[in-house]
Structure 1
Amino acid sequence: MAKRLLFVTYGGGHAHMVYPVVHALRQSAAFRSGLLDMQVLALPAAIQAFRTRGLDCLSFKDFVDPLLDAAALAWGVELAKIHHAPTTGVEYGDSVAYLGLCYQDLVERHGETGAARLIAERGRHAFFPVSVMERVFDRLQTDFVVTTNSPRSEAAAIAVANKRGMGTLAMTDLFTGLGGYLIKARNITFLNPTAQQMFLGDGLVDPSISSFYCTGNPAFDRIFERPCARNPMWMAAHFPQVGARSVVLHADMPAWWSPVLKRSYFKTDEDTLTELQACHAATLSNGAVYLVRPHPSQNRALYQSWLKGRTDAFLAADCDLHELLSHTDLLLARTTTVGLQATLMHRRVLQLEAALHPDLPLAAMGVAWGSRGMNHLPEEIGHALADEEGFTRILAQIRTQLPAASAAFKIADIILNKLCLPCEMHIGAME
């Protein structure tokens, strides 16, 4: 009888962690022989990520009973007026089903007054839809559940699975958790030993209930599959003004975790403009060209306005990120995953105000240079561009500290082992 595996995931980087593992498992002898059945329950923002990659997925909409869930759908319609954003690519019906079923779960557990208070105080962060997950598991007869480290529905899936005695695995993404909750999966994967120690130190995992594995992050597997060689034609086509000069790329972000405030610090427009000015001036002082790439959630108009009339400064928002990093001489970044991607590609990275960012300790791990502050940027950029001996040490640290091969196949084999499928059913056994 086939073992039934269910992935539960939100969108963004979480979906990018899941679909490489699904693809890896589809190459196993267990899947090809019919001994493994896989389903993906995609939360609204993740649906498009799977379907555009040729992978079928289920959504909350597939578990709605139009008669029994009439009240839930009515709540979903009301909540969608606030929380549904058509520009994200999420279909309206998926939003209504997700919001409605999650809110119905709140009502069942806290009553209508309590549910209304929680949604007013915390928005969607109040959701923990255990009743929905019970419904899903009953329908699919699931044996094993895989999630990332996202809270809400993913954490609810782990909670219900553990209560039923099912196998569970959570894949963590970077060096700290989301939402500050204890991840209770029976198996947990980490980017590297540093990440494992940070999750432990932050009290987000418990070795008495979980087994730990350092596998890398599947979302970065695609980095290892693409060449990093420069192509002069690419740069000439996208930024013809650069010529033979060095390129400094600034990967901006709207917020970061503050260890002092113990919460996220959200930049104001003034903060953003001050940082742009400092990075631009420091770059130009070293004879390099300045490119800036805002985070997708940041207001691009602010950057376009600031760039007008600036010397040797250009917006790099729409080009392929892998290609852009391949043609960058130095990346300026804080805690964006672009910084980690650049190090995995063996690019030079200068972490801005590195002491403020222990949650993504690129400089502390020795895989990037660390900036002491904006006043020091001109000399620090010059040093990072010219320091060949230091870059040799950084490359050695990257090879020691960070993964250099696919994480998806490692995680797929862990799952197959936990499902007690024989070794001949694992990855490559039918090759």
Structure 2
Amino acid sequence: MKKILFVSYGGGHVKSLLPVAEKMQDMNCEVAFLALTTAINNLRKSDVRHYTYADFFDTPEVQEIGKRLAGSIDANILPIYDTSVYLGQNYLDLVSEHGDKAAKKLYEQSGRLIFHPLESMTRVLLKLQPDVVVSTSSPRSEKAIIYAAGQLGIKSVVLSDLFVERPLSWFIDKSFSSKICVPSSFARDVLIENGRPHSDVVITGNPAFDTLVSASQAQKKHKKLSYRVLWASQPEPEYFAENDTYGDPLLPSKIESELIKIFDARRNWKLVIRNHPNEMPRQYPEFIESSSNDEKLSDLLPTIDLVVTCTSIVGFEALILGKGFITIDKSVLTPMLPFSKYGYSKGIDSIDSIEDHLIDFYSNNKDTNTPYNIENATDNVCNVILDLMMY
């Protein structure tokens, strides 16, 4: 029986990959999952056999280094034990590659973004001996394990995010992954135009959107009695090392303040605010509705008419359901998540113009044509894996 190793970070990455792992397991394939950081929480709720960094790298030295590094991270989503092993082992790989002094400087400059644990991921593969490795398109451990698989002669599949701008430099490296699954012809064309062979790229869609596509097709049209706008907030990095650019950490609060001012003057409209899990909870005026991260997006988005965000994938998920989508294209992350460039969102570059665009959408109230309607992406990705295992 062929063994498939899935590898993923949390958030949207594990939501894309876990349905595939579960489907392959239902097809009597031997499946294992290397859960990275917050993906651990998802896998602990699944019946898919999973591993974490702690299963391979839990030593006193790793724990000591990791606990020191974890002290500078403002997050408590995972137990300190898991966080420490992850950080400590990645840092040791950095030291192994660059030496103590250079590793310290690199980490101080870029933090976790500098991690590329090729040596550690090679050790994982030698231990587990999979026939195929499947990951999403994150840098760090996911990127490293795909390169490690190539060096060991192990076949691999990478499931791309909506956009390929961020991983483009390694996606077009022909030694990176046997197959790349993309969600659209836009993404496929970018890769092919930049030199990736046509046969390496397959349009499969993204399994994370399967439920939304089904809901969109089943959703009955009805006239809205109110105008509900969702502000999907996110923290803005002060410095983004991947493209050496500086952001404005106050950008989300500036946008939020403008939205609150607009909706204070228009009480017949309703503003719903959903903070990112990495943001500190905030208090809002009584006329603002707050959506906690415990509320399922599948329950919230059907009640929304329009999503405003900088770069959150929540806006694209709403678009699949036929909702409006506006992006404030002032984030340091906008070039990596160019929704408006691809025609998915209405992009605006001025906070002062938000109200005009809200009024325009409200006045026109046109049905939004979804640019994504791929059904059964989970099955599509499974078929790519099965085809690869046959040869």
Q: Normalising by structure 1, what TM-score?
A: 0.76
Stretch moving more, 12-21 or 370-379: 370-379
Displacement of 1:327 in angstroms is 0.9
Report the alpha carbon displacement of residue 351 of structure 1 after superposing the two structures with TM: 3.1
Q: Are residues 1:417 and 2:387 paired?
A: yes
Answer whether contact 2:25 2:48 (CA < 8 A) is retained. Answer: no
Tell me if the contact between 1:256 and 1:264 (Cα under 8 Å) persists in the aligned partners: no
My pick for the range that moved more, 250-259 or 190-199, is 250-259
Query: How many angstroms does 1:172 deviate by?
Result: 1.0
- Provide closer, same or farther for how the CA distance between residues 416 and 61 of structure 1 changes in structure 2, counting only shifts above 3 A: same
**Residue equivalent to 2:19:** 20
Classify the secondary structure of the residue corresponding to 1:300.
Answer: coil
Given candidates 318, 322, 325, the residue that maps to 2:298 is: 322
Distance 2:165 2:238 in 1: 11
After superposition, the Cα gap between the structure-2 partners of 1:290 and 1:27, relative to the gap in structure 1 and judged at 3 Å, is: same
Take 1:86 and 1:372, find their aligned partners in 2: how far apart are those partners? 29
Post-superposition Cα deviations, 1:382-403, rounded to whole Å, max 9, x if no partner, equal 2212324xx34x31xx2xx313
TM-superposed deviation, 1:353: 4.7
Which of 184, 196, 205 is 1:207 aligned to? Answer: 196
Matched ranges for 1:15-414 at <5 A? 15-28=14-27, 31=28, 36-64=29-57, 70=59, 73-83=60-70, 88-178=76-166, 181-183=169-171, 184-198=176-190, 206-208=195-197, 211-226=200-215, 244-255=225-236, 266-269=247-250, 271-283=251-263, 284-285=265-266, 287-301=268-282, 304=283, 307-308=284-285, 312-318=287-293, 319-353=295-329, 357=334, 359-371=336-348, 373-388=350-365, 391-392=366-367, 394-395=368-369, 398=370, 401-414=371-384
Q: Which amino acid aligns with 2:8?
A: T
User: Are the structure 2 counterparts of residues 102 and 333 from structure 1 closer, same or farther at C-alpha, using a change threshold of 3 Å?
Assistant: closer
Query: Structure 1 residues 244 and 58 mapped into 2: Cα distance closer, same or farther (>3 Å)?
Result: same
Q: Displacement, 1:106?
A: 2.9
Task: Indicate the percent of aligned positions where both proteins have the same amino acid.
Answer: 24
Which amino acid in 2 is paired with 1:11? G
- Deviation of the 1:264 alpha carbon: 5.5
Deviation at 1:419, TM superposition (A): 0.4
Q: How many residues align?
A: 379
In structure 2, distance between residues paired with 1:256 and 1:344: 28
2:2 pairs with 1:3: yes
Q: CA deviation at 1:24?
A: 1.8
1:192–1:403 contact (8 Å) kept in structure 2: no
Contact 1:332/1:351 (CA < 8 Å) preserved in 2? yes
Unaligned runs of 5+ in 2: none
Runs of 5+ in structure 1 lacking a partner?
Answer: 233-242, 422-431
Alpha carbon RMSD of aligned pairs, Å? Answer: 3.4
- In 1, distance between residues paired with 2:67 and 2:239? 32
CA shift for structure 1 position 210: 7.1
Q: Is the 8 A contact 1:185 1:210 kept in 2?
A: no
Q: Which secondary structure state, in structure 2, belongs to the residue aligned with residue 44 of structure 1?
A: coil
The answer on whether the counterparts of 2:239 and 2:247 sit within 8 Å (CA) in structure 1 is no
Q: Relative to structure 2, which stretch is displaced further, 144-153 or 74-83?
A: 74-83
* 358 and 178 in structure 1: CA distance in 2 versus 1, 3 angstrom threshold: closer
TM-score, length of structure 2 as denominator length: 0.83
How far apart, in 1, do the equivalents of 2:322 and 2:84 lie?
Answer: 44
Question: SS at the partner of 2:50?
Answer: coil
Q: Distance in 1 between matches of 2:277 and 2:199?
A: 35
CA distance in 2, matches of 1:165, 1:381: 53
CA contact (8 A) 1:86 1:92 kept: no
In 2: Cα distance, 1:147 partner to 1:120 partner: 28
2:94 and 2:335 map into 1 onto residues whose CA distance is 35
